[in-house]
Amino acid sequence: MIELSKAEFAVMEALWQGYPAKASDIVQRLSDDTQWHEKTIKTLVSRLVKKQAVSFEKDGREYIYTPTIGREAYTLKESQNFIARLFRGRVAPLVSGFAKTQQLSQQDIDELKQIIEQWEQKQGK
């Protein structure tokens, strides 16, 4: 699997916001959230290309970048790894921790209920 560092992930987020995109677009978007120097961002983009998380097409002197992996797929994989490492693959203990420390909102609860409902429907029960 493609592994992304935190900074690289942040750049991916900017790209996922809309693509294909020029480097200058990515820099632009990131300037809202970070203080990163343009050079820093370009370096990160290069590393992403090297890791094949991002591909590009040339447009004259500029490159037009596109993510090769979707946000959903990537975050799912990451979540699986994380949950496997910290909670032996089971998601409930994580949610439980959130519950115990008052970090669940009504919205969270509603969504969880819906997830459960759909799950049970699919189980044909």
Partner DNA sequence: CGTTTTTGATTACAGATGTAATCTTAATTT
Partner DNA sequence: AAATTAAGATTACATCTGTAATCAAAAACG
Taking CA atoms, 54 is separated from 22, 90, 106, 115, in Å, by 12, 31, 37, 32
Instruction: Give residues 58-87 in contact with a second copy (rule: CB under 8 A).
Output: 72, 75-76, 78-80, 82-83, 85-87
A 10 A CB-CB count for 68 gives 13
Closest CA relative to residue 15, chosen from 2, 4, 27: 27
Tell me the per-residue interface mask from 22 to 61 with DNA, x by CB under 7 A, - otherwise: xxx----------xxx-xx-xxx-x--x----------xx
Quick check: 5 binds a second copy (CB under 8 A)? no
List residues bridging with 54 in a β-sheet. 67
- Among residues 50, 107, 121, 124, which is the contact residue for a second copy, using CB under 8 A? 107
Least spacing, CB of residue 124 vs DNA, in Å:
42
| # of chain residues touching DNA (CB under 7 A) | 22
